[in-house]
Every structure is written in structure tokens, then in C-alpha cells.
Structure 1
């Protein structure tokens, strides 16, 4: 009870000083243990962060490889199967939007030559 600050009546100044010193020593021990535990927890979290970062880097590389493979497959589809009804979807990684590109035959109506008999 004296450690809790109760029943201090009747203690001499010397006894109160001793009690205070014991409390300070105990408090230092508690703070050291707390610091050790927090330091250990920080180290564990740092290791987890590093593992997650490494996993993120590997997944990003995998996404890039798959994206490149998809681009190559689209290019291959255009060069081997002709142009009819083919479209290419280009994804913008930054804004997550898609642009659809489609090939079509040229419109020759703009380039028709006038009939020969009208000169």
C-alpha cells in the first residue's frame, strides 16, 4: 500500500526517501522493459515491411511481364491474321483508362477520279 501512496502516515523522512528511491528504480526497470518491447516490435514490423515491399516489387515485375506479353500477342495477332475486325486495347497504367484502336479499310470515296467523258 505504501508503493501506491497509501498508509504513509507514521513514516519518517528517511523511510519516505527510501520508498521514493525504490519507486524510481522500479519505474526505470518498467521503462527499460517497455523500451525493449517497443524496439523489438519496431524491428519485427520493419522486417514485415521489407518483405511486403519485396513482394510488391516482384508482383510489379510480374504485371509488367504479363503486360508486355499481352502487347506482343496483340502485335502477333495483327501481323499473322490480317486486319479484319481487329482492335487493340491500350491500357493507360496511370489513369486506368482504355483506348480502343481499330484498323479499317481506307475510304476511297474522297479520292475518286472524275469520269473521263466530262472534259
Structure 2
């Protein structure tokens, strides 16, 4: 009885590991890192990367300790190819006022939730 239970569990695990979507069954080439740079110090950081699938991100963070702003101020941008093939590009600032995507990034900005 124990052998049958172990065999049944092995079959369930094998079937669960198979791709559920037939389109995912085709092997995708691994994504390659084309560029990767970073620098970190006590006053802030910056980094940048780019991959072979069209994804990239760059960001700079600076620690501010003055009367106008105290804490981390971040500026950056990222882009990627959406599943429908559209290139999404977002530029942003994140500081004491929160996350602020730039209007120049186009129509693919995340929309604010509707007020009820």
C-alpha cells in the first residue's frame, strides 16, 4: 500500500510540474544581462541594468538631511516589453511626497485607483 501511495504522489508531482499552457511548452531562450553597473556609498546609490529581453532600469538615490526634505530621494526610470508586445516606459521620482511617475512617460502610466 505504501508503494502505491508514493507512486501516486510522484505522478501528481510530475503532472503538476508540467506547463499548463501549451504555448509555454516551447523553450524560451534565457535572458542575458547586457549591462549592469552600481555604486553605493553613505550619501546614496545609483544602479543601471539592461537585459536581452528589452528590460532596463536605472535609478539614483540620494540621502537628504535638511529642513526641506529628510530621508531618501530617488529618481529613475524603467522599461520593459509587455506580453502584448507594447513597450512600457516609466520615469519617476520618489521622495517625501511619495511615488510620482512623470507625465513624459506617455499613456502607459499606472492609473490611480478610482475614488468611491
- Which TM bucket (shorter chain)? under 0.3
Q: Which has the higher helix share?
A: 1
Answer with 1 or 2: which has the greater Rg. 1
Give the TM-score normalised by the residue count of structure 2: 0.23
Give the TM-score normalised by the residue count of structure 1: 0.22
Q: Which has the higher contact order (CA 8 A, sep 6+)?
A: 2
